[in-house]
Amino acid sequence: MKILGNKKAVMPIAIAAALAFGQQPASAQGLFDMLFGGGIRHNPQREFPPPPTPRKVQPGTGGGVRISSPTYNTYRADKLVRVDFKSLLPAPPPATAQDAAFVPSVTGSAFRDALAGLSDYELFAEPDIAKALIAYYSANPDFIWVTGDAPNSRAQDAVRVLGEAATYGLTPADYSVDVPAAAMNAASPEERAKELVRFEMALSARVLRYAHDAQSGRVDANRMTGYYDFPAKPLDLEGVLKTLAHTQEVRTYLESRHPQNPEYQALRVELESLQASEENEIVVDPKLLLKPGESSPELPKLLTLIARNLDDEMGGDFGETLARLGKSEVYDPELVPVIKAVQKRAGMKGDGVIGPRTVASLAGTSKADKIEKVKVALEELRWLPSDLGSPRVFINQPAFTASYIDNGAEKLKTRVVIGKVTNQTAFFYNQIKQVDFHPYWGVPQSIIVNEMLPRLRSDPGYLDRAGYEVTDSSGRRVPSAAVDWGAYGAKIPFSVRQQPSEANALGELKILFPNKHAIYMHDTPQKSFFERDIRALSHGCIRLQDPRGMAAAVLGTSVDDIAEKLKHGHSTENVTRVIPVYVAYFTAWPDMSGKVEYFDDVYDRDAKLMQALDATEAVRAPST
């Protein structure tokens, strides 16, 4: 389909279409015109088949029906189980059943003799770890961590690594193991053997927990909410023990389970620096919200920070005002120009309202909050691949930015609009597949039901006039005006798509990476949204300020080439390279130089993750 290239030709049509809508309730018409720019008239070129016979709707199925967004769950960690050592106590299996790589050591008989010490031993572990322990030691009846009558060098290295868990944002108590003291003459051989075999099992259990946590994180993100969508990262737990039994490089192996990317290392460095630093001298409530005429004891702190950092220009303009009102708890109108100037200098819209972003720009984030954000970021990064890939596209929702990164360099960085709090953008990763020029917009069922349907019940021809196509389940075109929209609730047997046009909600192009959330990157007619500081304004997709630049980057071409393609109407081009895309959510994230930046928690997800981590620690706490 050819696209009208003349804006002057399109606008009268769009205006006429808007006028044709008539006076509709603001809740329907105003919302849709604002979100999708109205539309253009469309005159069908062929006759429509008759619509299907509408089904009857049960009472209460009509106007009040909505398709709900995902919810957040109260996280429940898997309960620990007591490791059942009974199968280890009888005679070991024949040699033919043992692991082929296993070579019994001189302590093999000592290990079998010591197993009796496990008969009443209460060791608790995650179910898969408990299973792996029994499977491994059944096939490999020998010590990994003990040589003679003492812990060996492998054990010493493992215990040191577990003790350093805090440097990765993990909780050392989750991996603590009581190390047997040096052999005492007073202890009988039987008591010493019992102590050593219990240490062996406890250390193996905690090493496996550590390896799992380092590779995949402590919580199962997908259990937290439907907004999270991460593939499993399988870990061969028996294989971990086999490897550790045959290497002296225990530290190297365990540390290799962590993500091996510069971002993870930068966050670790930031955590270490924060833990060694002092608290901010002046701490302002990060949730402060203050309008002119209101009062707060937090205001003098903020004014002190402003006065401390005055440059010559601002000092000349506002020095006297700050000297006179710097101790005031009342937000006097005379202070409004000061706050507006500070906001504009920080790149914000100078509205004079003191809110969290203004506070953050002046007082920064408290040490405690920064530490929490970094720990959350380290956990979230463990959900992603260890190697993030190059080239890649990285979207950080709290930063409202999207970047194209190649060979360690940020080749493109652009502002984005993400989903509203009520239509949140999911957190997942995928692979970019194609770019659509002058795209059709397939309207999601949730928008059809929640936002179009109320209007269609009273104005069934709206979609025909506004440049949308309606098709039935067989793909046949159906006139919107011929459908009895009032007969349907949350399950509508029709598809709706908006034709390419300058009023199309997706603008001139979209970049697809197929996913179950129906999220993609796209252009938008609503360019003014990119000037806002908080850009959580969409239905969930990622709107790009520089869509042509991103399309050129992923297609490996120039912006001029993209402009040329756009002259030829609707078309699609596949992305031939492997380019992962991360639709990510990090309130602490390093820039390309390694400096960690902090962002507001737009969807309040950090608190929900902290709840999940607390729940996990609570389950692990009684373990021995």
Residues 86 and 215 in one domain: yes
- Whole-number Å distance between alpha carbons of 128 and 135: 10
Residues 268 and 392 in one domain: no
Stated as kind and residue range, the H or E segment containing 611 is helix 605-620
Q: What is the pLDDT of residue 282?
A: 80
- Whole-number Å distance between alpha carbons of 125 and 201: 11
Average pLDDT over residues 382-409: 97
Bridge partner residues of 401 (DSSP):
396, 415
Residues 333 and 480 in one domain: no
Residues 164 and 231 in one domain: yes
Average pLDDT over residues 282-302: 90
- Whole-number Å distance between alpha carbons of 119 and 133: 15
Does the pLDDT of residue 560 top 60, yes or no? yes
Spell out the residues 6+ positions from residue 560 whose beta carbon is closer than 8 angstroms to its own: none
Give the long-range contacts of residues 44-47, CB within 8 A, separation 24 or more: 44/464, 44/477, 44/479, 46/477
**404 residue type, one letter:** Y
Q: Is residue 74 part of a domain?
A: no
Q: What is the pLDDT of residue 90?
A: 56
Q: Is residue 129 part of a domain?
A: yes
Q: Which tens digit of pLDDT belongs to each residue from 231-258?
A: 999 999 999 999 999 999 999 999 999 9
Average pLDDT over residues 548-573: 96
Q: Is residue 73 part of a domain?
A: no
Most confident listed range (148-152, 319-323, 330-334, 411-415): 411-415
- If one counts the domains in the chain, the total is 4
Q: Encoding tokens for residue 493? A: 């047997």
Q: What is the pLDDT of residue 462?
A: 86
Q: Is residue 624 part of a domain?
A: no
- Whole-number Å distance between alpha carbons of 374 and 586: 9
Residues 436 and 467 in one domain: no
- Whole-number Å distance between alpha carbons of 420 and 271: 31
Q: What is the pLDDT of residue 104?
A: 43
**226 residue type, one letter:** G
Does the pLDDT of residue 347 top 80, yes or no? no
Residues 431 and 520 in one domain: yes
Q: Output 410 or 482, whichever has higher pLDDT.
A: 410
Does the pLDDT of residue 520 top 70, yes or no? yes
Q: Encoding tokens for residue 571? A: 């078309």
> Model-level pTM greater than 0.95?
no
- Cα distances (Å, whole numbers) of residue 459 to 22, 28, 62, 525: 10, 11, 15, 25
Rg (CA), the chain: 31
Q: What is the pLDDT of residue 122?
A: 95
Residues 582 and 537 in one domain: yes
Question: How would residue 588 be classed by pLDDT, with cut points 50, 70 and 90?
Answer: very high
Does the pLDDT of residue 43 top 60, yes or no? no
Residues 405 and 475 in one domain: no
Task: Report the relative pairing of strands 468-472 and 494-498 from DSSP bridges.
Answer: antiparallel
**124 residue type, one letter:** F
For residue 451, the 8-state DSSP code is I
Average pLDDT over residues 204-223: 98
Q: 550 near 404, Cβ under 8 Å?
A: yes
Does the pLDDT of residue 26 top 50, yes or no? no
Cα of 244 vs its chain's centroid, Å: 33
Question: How would residue 449 be classed by pLDDT, with cut points 50, 70 and 90?
Answer: confident
Residues 38 and 183 in one domain: no
Q: Encoding tokens for residue 371? A: 């530490």
- Cα distances (Å, whole numbers) of residue 457 to 453, 477, 486, 491: 6, 19, 5, 15
Q: What is the pLDDT of residue 19?
A: 31
Residues 132 and 252 in one domain: yes
The residue range of the domain holding 259 is 81-274
Residues 111 and 252 in one domain: yes
